[in-house]
Amino acid sequence: YRSRANRVIYVFNLTSPLGVLSWAAGRLGGAQLVVSLNDINEPGETVPDSLRFRLDFWLQKRLIPHFDGHVVVADAIAEDFLPGRPYVRVEGGVDELTEEDQAPSVAPETFSMVLAGTLNEANGVGLLLDALKILNDAALRVRIAGQGPMLDAVRQAARDDSRIEYVGFLGLGEVRELYRRSDLLLNLRLTRAVRTRYFFPSKVIEFLASGTPLLTTCPGHVRSEFSDLAFLLEEETPEALASLLRKVMTTTSEERLRQAKLAREQIFASHSWLAHGRRVASYIRGVVAQGRR
């Protein structure tokens, strides 16, 4: 919006000091302020409990209600920081250009799983490695991709267990090919040992759209909206993960692929970036209209 009456400033995240500066600039310019809140770190949980991060969290908590519009990655952000206010949730999306269906291509004699992303405790790397110590199925194969603080632990696990392979840090095309050659994708974002209430792993949307079956923990709205599209890990322990993996491995490939196909169809119907863009644009128009009153 270019005219003064319709001027909107759209801000991505409110980490200090940029959050304060963005708010001040918007108010001085008479603009409507819309913020996109893509994860909020909690001191002592997802970031160190230091003065810097405590101040950052405090500032965000104070600033968020003073914006005119809010686009959030998780409903919990709206529930805790702007109760009762209208908002739009955008937790991740897919590009319509990638909708071409490519059926998974897997080796029938093995069961191959993939964990891809930042290799840290919050993403369940330790949980997976501990579960693999319980599972002694020789047909199991686990490919791990990414970088992060637990990279050395992953490399050591790969040396100790021939079923585990570290495939490095991959480009987007390579990652998609890895998904296609897998029986199961893993999203193990922890929600209990590490409090991630104000996060939502956008990879869940990416995985659901891949056409490859997914096993996931239950961050955010996964349980309420995607329970029929993935295998849900309700208890975040190595024993529970090992048990669920055994269950998944005993289902037929036809059952798993049926679920994955349904997931892909639903995600492309509801979570395309074009659909998100239309919803956000409509919401911003409402914010502007409200500001004129």
> Domains plus CATH for the chain?
4-93+272-292 (3.40.50.2000), 96-270 (3.40.50.2000)
Between 60-69, 96-105, 200-209, the lowest mean confidence (pLDDT) is in 96-105
Measure the CA–CA gap between 150 and 153, rounded to whole angstroms.
Answer: 5
Q: Which helix (H) or strand (E) holds 33?
A: strand 32-37
Per-residue pLDDT of 182-239, as tens digits, reads 999 999 999 988 888 999 989 999 999 999 999 999 999 999 999 999 999 999 999 9
Measure the CA–CA gap between 111 and 247, rounded to whole angstroms.
Answer: 12
The confidence band for 18, taking pLDDT boundaries of 50, 70 and 90, is confident
* 51 or 20, which is more confident: 51
| pTM of this structure | 0.87
Q: In the block, which residue shows the tokens 């194969």?
A: 141
Average pLDDT of span 140-165: 97
Q: What is the pLDDT of residue 101?
A: 60
Residue 34 sits at the vertex; the CA angle it makes with 32 and 40, to the nearest 5 degrees, is 150
Of 16, 20, 24, 23, the residue nearest 40 (C-alpha): 16
Measure the CA–CA gap between 171 and 193, rounded to whole angstroms.
Answer: 30
Q: What is the pLDDT of residue 225?
A: 95
End-to-end CA distance of the chain: 17
Question: Could you tell me if 59 and 14 are in contact, meaning their C-beta atoms sit under 8 angstroms apart?
Answer: yes
The CA distances from residue 270 to 93, 152, 209, 275, in Å, are 9, 39, 11, 7
- Per DSSP, the chain holds a count of helices (H) and strands (E) of 11, 10
Average pLDDT of span 61-70: 95
